[in-house]
Structure 1
Amino acid sequence: MAFKSDIEIAREARKLPIVEIGAKLGIGSEDLLPYGHDKAKVSQRFIDSVRDRPTGKLILVTAINPTPAGEGKTTTTVGLGDGLNAIGKRAAICIREASLGPNFGMKGGAAGGGYAQIVPMEDMNLHFTGDFHAITSAHSLLAAMIDNHIYWGNGLDIDIRRVVWRRVVDMNDRALRQVTASLGGVANGFPRETGFDITVASEVMAILCLATDLTDLERRLGNMIVAYRRDQSPVFCRDLQAQGAMTVLLKDAMQPNLVQTLENNPAFVHGGPFANIAHGCNSVIATTTALKTADYVVTEAGFGADLGAEKFMNIKCRKAGLKPDCVVLVATIRAMKMNGGIAKDALAEENVAAVKKGCSNLGRHIDNLHGFGVPVVVAINHFSGDGEAEVAAVQDYVTGRGADAIVSRHWADGSEGAIDLARRVAEIADSGASQFAQLYPDEMSLMDKIRTVATRIYHADDVLADKRIRDQLRQWQDQGYGHLPVCMAKTQYSFSTDPNLRGAPTGHSVPIREVRLSAGAGFVVVICGEIMTMPGLPRHPSAEKIRLNEAGEVEGLF
Structure 2
Amino acid sequence: MNLSDIEIARQATKLPIGEIAAKLDIPYEDIVPYGHDKAKISAKYIETLKNNKNGKLILVTAINPTPAGEGKTTTTIGLTDALNHIGKKAVASLREPSLGPNFGQKGGAAGGGRSQVIPMEDINLHFTGDFHAITSANNLLAAMVDNHIYWGNEQNIDSRRITWKRVVDMNDRALRDIVISLGGVKNGFCRQSGFDITVASEIMAIFCLSENLADLTKRLGKIIIGYRYDKTPVTASDIHAEGAMAVLLRDALAPNLVQTIEHNPAFIHGGPFANIAHGCNSVIATKTALKLADYVVTEAGFGADLGAEKFFDIKCRKAGLKPDATVIVATIRALKMNGGVEKADLAHENVAALKKGTANLLRHISNMEKYGVPVIVAINHFNSDTDAEIEVLKKAVAETGHQAIMCRHWEKGGEGAEDLARAVVQMIAENKSNFHPLYADDLSLEEKIDTIIREIYGGRGANIPANILNQLKAWDEEGYGNLPVCMAKTQYSFSADPKLLGAPENFTIPVREVKLCAGAGFVVVICGDIMTMPGLPRHPMAEKIHLGESGEIEGLS
Q: Could you say whether these structures have the same fold, taking a TM-score greater than 0.5 normalized by the shorter chain as the test?
A: yes
User: What is the match of residue 212 of structure 1?
Assistant: 211
Where do 1:99-248 residues align within 5 Å?
99-248=98-247
Q: Report if the CA contact (8 A) 1:72-1:112 is conserved.
A: yes
Whole-angstrom CA distance in 2 between matches of 1:64 and 1:402: 18
User: What is the match of residue 414 of structure 2?
Assistant: 415
Q: Report if the CA contact (8 A) 1:108-1:556 is conserved.
A: no
Whole-angstrom CA distance in 1 between matches of 2:438 and 2:51: 29
Q: CA deviation at 1:434?
A: 1.3
Letter aligned with residue 357 of structure 1: K
1:381-436: CA deviations, max 9, x gaps?
A: 00011001101100000011121000000000001100000000111123342111
Q: CA deviation at 1:557?
A: 0.7
User: What is the match of residue 429 of structure 2?
Assistant: 430
Where do 1:284-433 residues align within 5 Å?
284-433=283-432
Determine helix, strand or coil for the equivalent of 1:247.
helix
Whole-angstrom CA distance in 1 between matches of 2:146 and 2:475: 25
Q: CA deviation at 1:138?
A: 0.3
Whole-angstrom CA distance in 2 between matches of 1:499 and 1:267: 33
User: What is the match of residue 528 of structure 2?
Assistant: 529
Q: Report if the CA contact (8 A) 2:75-2:115 is conserved.
A: yes
Q: CA deviation at 1:231?
A: 1.2
1:510-550: CA deviations, max 9, x gaps?
A: 11000000000000000000000000000000001111111
Letter aligned with residue 368 of structure 1: N
Q: CA deviation at 1:108?
A: 2.1
Q: Report if the CA contact (8 A) 2:104-2:540 is conserved.
A: yes
Q: Report if the CA contact (8 A) 1:275-1:303 is conserved.
A: yes
Q: CA deviation at 1:478?
A: 1.7
Whole-angstrom CA distance in 1 between matches of 2:404 and 2:107: 29
Q: CA deviation at 1:353?
A: 1.1
Determine helix, strand or coil for the equivalent of 1:287.
helix
Q: Scaled by the length of structure 1, what TM-score is found? A: 0.99
Whole-angstrom CA distance in 1 between matches of 2:390 and 2:16: 40
User: What is the match of residue 548 of structure 1?
Assistant: 547
User: What is the match of residue 538 of structure 2?
Assistant: 539
Does residue 1:9 correspond to 2:8, yes or no? yes
Letter aligned with residue 96 of structure 1: R
Q: Report if the CA contact (8 A) 1:200-1:274 is conserved.
A: yes
Q: Report if the CA contact (8 A) 2:104-2:541 is conserved.
A: yes
Percent of paired sites with the same residue: 66
User: What is the match of residue 78 of structure 1?
Assistant: 77
Determine helix, strand or coil for the equivalent of 2:401.
coil
Whole-angstrom CA distance in 1 between matches of 2:401 and 2:497: 29
Q: CA deviation at 1:323?
A: 1.3
Determine helix, strand or coil for the equivalent of 1:231.
coil
Whole-angstrom CA distance in 2 between matches of 1:192 and 1:105: 30
Whole-angstrom CA distance in 2 between matches of 1:353 and 1:510: 30
Determine helix, strand or coil for the equivalent of 2:457.
coil
Determine helix, strand or coil for the equivalent of 1:452.
helix
1:257-304: CA deviations, max 9, x gaps?
A: 000000000000000000000000000000000000000000000000
Q: CA deviation at 1:253?
A: 0.6
Q: Report if the CA contact (8 A) 2:211-2:284 is conserved.
A: yes
Q: CA deviation at 1:3?
A: 1.3
Whole-angstrom CA distance in 2 between matches of 1:514 and 1:382: 40
Letter aligned with residue 4 of structure 1: L
Letter aligned with residue 445 of structure 2: L
Q: Report if the CA contact (8 A) 2:107-2:556 is conserved.
A: yes
Letter aligned with residue 200 of structure 2: A
Q: Report if the CA contact (8 A) 2:378-2:406 is conserved.
A: yes
Q: Report if the CA contact (8 A) 1:517-1:525 is conserved.
A: yes
Determine helix, strand or coil for the equivalent of 1:443.
coil
Q: Report if the CA contact (8 A) 1:325-1:428 is conserved.
A: no
Q: Report if the CA contact (8 A) 1:59-1:429 is conserved.
A: no
Whole-angstrom CA distance in 1 between matches of 2:2 and 2:355: 30
Letter aligned with residue 536 of structure 2: L
Q: CA deviation at 1:110?
A: 0.7
Letter aligned with residue 541 of structure 1: P
Letter aligned with residue 457 of structure 1: I
Q: Report if the CA contact (8 A) 1:314-1:485 is conserved.
A: yes
1:51-87: CA deviations, max 9, x gaps?
A: 1111100000000000010000000000000000000
Q: Report if the CA contact (8 A) 2:141-2:241 is conserved.
A: yes
Count the aligned residue pairs.
Answer: 557
Q: CA deviation at 1:466?
A: 1.1
User: What is the match of residue 484 of structure 1?
Assistant: 483
Q: CA deviation at 1:475?
A: 1.2
Where do 1:52-71 residues align within 5 Å?
52-71=51-70
Determine helix, strand or coil for the equivalent of 2:76.
helix
Whole-angstrom CA distance in 2 between matches of 1:324 and 1:427: 15
Letter aligned with residue 248 of structure 2: L
User: What is the match of residue 31 of structure 2?
Assistant: 32
Q: CA deviation at 1:106?
A: 1.1
Q: Report if the CA contact (8 A) 2:374-2:431 is conserved.
A: no
Whole-angstrom CA distance in 2 between matches of 1:414 and 1:98: 21
Q: Report if the CA contact (8 A) 2:329-2:378 is conserved.
A: yes
Whole-angstrom CA distance in 2 between matches of 1:457 and 1:464: 16
Whole-angstrom CA distance in 2 between matches of 1:428 and 1:51: 27
Q: Report if the CA contact (8 A) 1:118-1:267 is conserved.
A: yes
**What stretches of structure 2 of length at least 5 have no aligned partner?**
none
Determine helix, strand or coil for the equivalent of 1:316.
helix
Q: CA deviation at 1:109?
A: 1.0
Determine helix, strand or coil for the equivalent of 1:457.
helix
Determine helix, strand or coil for the equivalent of 2:69.
coil
1:204-241: CA deviations, max 9, x gaps?
A: 00000000000000000000000101111000000010
Letter aligned with residue 317 of structure 2: R
Whole-angstrom CA distance in 2 between matches of 1:507 and 1:381: 31
User: What is the match of residue 472 of structure 2?
Assistant: 473
1:91-115: CA deviations, max 9, x gaps?
A: 0000000000110001221100000
Whole-angstrom CA distance in 2 between matches of 1:137 and 1:462: 38
Letter aligned with residue 500 of structure 1: K
RMSD: 0.6
Does residue 1:502 correspond to 2:501, yes or no? yes
Q: Report if the CA contact (8 A) 1:75-1:411 is conserved.
A: yes
Letter aligned with residue 181 of structure 2: S
Q: Report if the CA contact (8 A) 2:546-2:553 is conserved.
A: yes
Determine helix, strand or coil for the equivalent of 1:499.
coil
Whole-angstrom CA distance in 2 between matches of 1:479 and 1:183: 36
Letter aligned with residue 450 of structure 1: I
Whole-angstrom CA distance in 2 between matches of 1:174 and 1:23: 45
Q: CA deviation at 1:26?
A: 1.2
Q: CA deviation at 1:375?
A: 1.1
Q: Report if the CA contact (8 A) 2:324-2:433 is conserved.
A: yes
Whole-angstrom CA distance in 1 between matches of 2:208 and 2:364: 25
Q: CA deviation at 1:23?
A: 0.7
Whole-angstrom CA distance in 1 between matches of 2:125 and 2:359: 37
- Higher mean alpha-carbon deviation, 428-437 vs 475-484, is at 428-437
